[in-house]
Structure 1
Amino acid sequence: MILRIFAVLVFAFAAPISAQTLDTSATAALVVDYDTGAVLLEKNADTPIPPASMSKLMTLNMLFEAIEEGRVDMDDTFPVSANAHGYPGSTMFLETRHDPTVRDLIRGIVVLSGNDACIVVAEHLAGSEGAFASRMTERARELGMDGSTFANATGWPAESHRMSARDLVFLARRMMDEFGEYYPFFAEREFTWNGITQPNRNPLLYSSIAGDGLKTGHTEEAGYGLVGSAVRDGRRIIFMVTGLDSTETRTNESERIAAWAFREFENVTFFDGETPVAQADVWLGEDKQVDLIAGEDIVATLPRGQADEATARVVYDGPVPAPIQAGQHIADLLIETPGVGTMTIPLLARSDVAEGGPMTRIVSSTGLLASRAFDNLFGSD
């Protein structure tokens, strides 16, 4: 049975949805709506590439997991080895006489991109940077990050140190979803350690696009990259760009992509999760119909102005035999939007429907026999 309804629903997209085309000079890029998971733009998003310091998000993931599991505490202090103190590249200016807390080290990694802070964390959690990198790779596989392999804790150039744009955006989202308590660190504009104040390198924090994270990266091999997030009018996007030729290009391209994503797309709420979307007929039940709901809010990311072009239909095999339990998957909502494609959303029974008594069965059976007799006498299409 197919019922026509007037609503539209989109939760996620397997391919980018269409709007005004945007070209980017980045070698790899991915732009995603935070609320719906809609992919707004992608370029070489699944290609493993050198991530530079953007891979420090995985180092932070390992540290945040250790905190959440109770293996370390924010006020714990970690020793600084000579190896950490002498590590090349961006630095927090740790010295072997220091005893930084976990909180200090988080700020040293997030705000200052300190390679020394990453080594301190790696050596404390795994004994050595090599062992820590192996654990990072193993954990990446467990999380479904198949485009990521780690050779170190810092993003220092190494042939086997690779991440995909999709994995980096996944990690950025994980920072918000799983470790939201620590996410405000990403918005800090400066941090002072050892008497030295350094600014956060993330250009989004100083931009008009309301960026609040996450991490920049640069090596000669990788070029200039950024995995970032910004919020406008309550709507958040997450994006990643890399392979750019300068800090200025990185800043300009990041701002241009974010502005485009906010300008060209919108999120539209069509139903709350408990609003009936349609009804399904019930066979041999105390009730003849059952309301169908999505179970969670129905929100769509669409190119601006295209919501009115969407059509939807409910598909199910009916009538549905009783008994029916609330939450039971009864039907599917199919939504077709030009430039977006077709999405399938499960619809659930809003309430229980018990089996009918003897009279219900007699009446239903009599009606069925009468219908068959009519068809035999007069035929049916």
Structure 2
Amino acid sequence: MITRPLHFAAVLLLVLSWLAPLSPARADTSRYAAFVVDQNTGVVLHSRQSEATRYPASLTKMMTLYLLFNAIETGELELNDQIRVSAHAANAAPSRLDLPIGSTISVEDAIRALVIRSANDVAVAVGERLGGTETAFATIMTTKARELGMPGTTFRNASGLPDSRQTTTARDMARLAIALQRDFPSFFHYFDETRFVWDGRTYRNHNTLVGRVDGVDGLKTGYIRASGFNVVVSATRGEHRLVAVIMGGPTAASRDAHAEELLDAAFSSLEQRDDRRLFAALSSPRINPIRQQELIAQDVAALNLDSPIEMGSAQAAPPLRIILADESSELTAQPAAEPTNPTGTTLLRGAWSVQVGAYNSAAAARDRLDRVTPASSILRLAQPAARSVDINGNRLWRARFESLTADEAANACAELGARNEPCYTVAPGR
């Protein structure tokens, strides 16, 4: 899903790549990697060294959590079940909860300890509970990684503590983040929590982007000396849900700033793309893609707008303001002659329309209507009209045939399409 490109993504990647070198997160290129993807569409919005081998550090715990969530869903564990802490787990290096040997922790507390505290002793205990030994659990983790389409990832432990053989890629970590939200949506809220209380002490989420940056609702940070500062972030704004991966930051602050910068840039570009799609829907016939792009380009040129850019920067996209003009009689094109109506039925058949073009003057729209009318027997029974629309202060005139039924509108466009004439149907009220 993630690997499937769209045309605009290439331009987006290029502009975002201009931003990345300016960030302090690029200080160590041997550890740096970044990847941003639209989770809903699989469109890659930014990729720098995304398939280069890197060390996951505590991002490893996302897979530990994935397998823990799976054990809960399959009935192997319940949230209030207790996980026993072995000597091996209790002796794990920080960060940890300092659990004593032989003590227990509930499954739900273990989830929060992994997400918020990034507790290594808890990760080892979970791995031993699910795999028998941490080594056996690491094999299960790697097998699951292959099933999830993570070819560049190998796990050697449950925590992410240093191991030269435990490697991954930024792209693989994005796949894992998407799988967590997709496969276990009922557990995803744990990634959005900012605090965890254990044994009278309150721990704050290492992922400070949660609750601070607009739309961010998870996932995980990580650090070991070999990896630098890593983070995987999920964020939603409007209809778009993004996953961003930053690896190799020189500091936690620079890593977070870079992640925020890339998210803002990606969301801004998507908003601009949506605005242009809305403009295209209002102003251009929906025909074959190549021809449609030609018409959209003509419409934009007619309005004297800047050339569209398929991605933006961290600057907010300008708002799209659309005002429909009053549909007074002066906007309605008059047919050259009254159409014949041998059946005697009313000409006002329905509320559907077809649009055959959009122009920068009413005269051009009316000329288009006159030229198209002979191409379809259905259009001779319709009401031709030039309707104006104001887009960001620029007026455009749509050439439409109105008062059609849904079937008539569809058949009219079929007739025009057979003649390679642009046409699309317009539902009532549009």
> Is TM more than 0.5 here?
yes
| Structure 1 match to 2:40 | 35
Q: Tell whether the 8 Å contact from 2:16 to 2:46 is kept in structure 1 after alignment.
A: no
Name the TM-score, length of structure 1 as normaliser: 0.66
Kindly, what percent of the aligned residue pairs are identical?
A: 35
Out of 144, 148, 151, the residue aligned to residue 143 of structure 1 is 148
Counterpart Cα distance in 2 of 1:106 and 1:14: 37
Aligned counterparts, 1:31-110, within 5 A: 31-110=36-115
1:294-316 deviation per Cα after TM superposition (whole angstroms, max 9, x unaligned): xxxxxxxx5369xxxxxxxxxxx
1:268-326 deviation per Cα after TM superposition (whole angstroms, max 9, x unaligned): 4789xxxxx889xxxxxxxxxxxxxxxxxxxxxx5369xxxxxxxxxxxxxxxxxxxxx
- Compare relative contact order (CA 8 Å, sep 6+) and give the higher one, 1 or 2: 1
Gaps of 5+ in 2: 27-31, 281-285, 289-309, 318-430
| Structure 1 match to 2:201 | 196
Counterpart Cα distance in 2 of 1:21 and 1:187: 27
Tell me by how many angstroms 1:217 deviates: 0.6
Amino acid at match of 2:184: F
| Structure 2 match to 1:173 | 178
Gaps of 5+ in 1: 1-10, 272-276, 280-301, 306-381
Tell me by how many angstroms 1:183 deviates: 0.4
Amino acid at match of 2:5: F
Tell me by how many angstroms 1:98 deviates: 3.1
Point out the structure with the larger strand share: 1
| Structure 1 match to 2:134 | 129
1:115-167 deviation per Cα after TM superposition (whole angstroms, max 9, x unaligned): 01101111111111111111111221222210000111111111110011111
Amino acid at match of 2:80: D
Question: How large is the Cα RMSD of the aligned pairs?
Answer: 2.6
Counterpart Cα distance in 2 of 1:21 and 1:137: 32
| Structure 2 match to 1:261 | 266
Q: Is the radius of gyration larger for structure 1 or structure 2?
A: 2
Flag the 1:259–1:127 CA change in 2: closer, same or farther, 3 A.
same
Counterpart secondary structure, 1:265: helix
Counterpart Cα distance in 1 of 2:217 and 2:85: 30
- Determine if the alignment matches structure 1 residue 231 to structure 2 residue 271: no
Name the TM-score, length of structure 2 as normaliser: 0.59
Matched residues, number: 271
Counterpart Cα distance in 2 of 1:231 and 1:110: 19
Counterpart Cα distance in 2 of 1:91 and 1:196: 13
Tell me by how many angstroms 1:12 deviates: 4.4
Counterpart Cα distance in 2 of 1:204 and 1:185: 14
Counterpart Cα distance in 2 of 1:21 and 1:192: 39
Point out the structure with the larger helix share: 2
| Structure 1 match to 2:329 | none
Amino acid at match of 1:43: R
Counterpart Cα distance in 1 of 2:73 and 2:53: 29
Tell me by how many angstroms 1:185 deviates: 0.2
Counterpart Cα distance in 1 of 2:72 and 2:136: 19
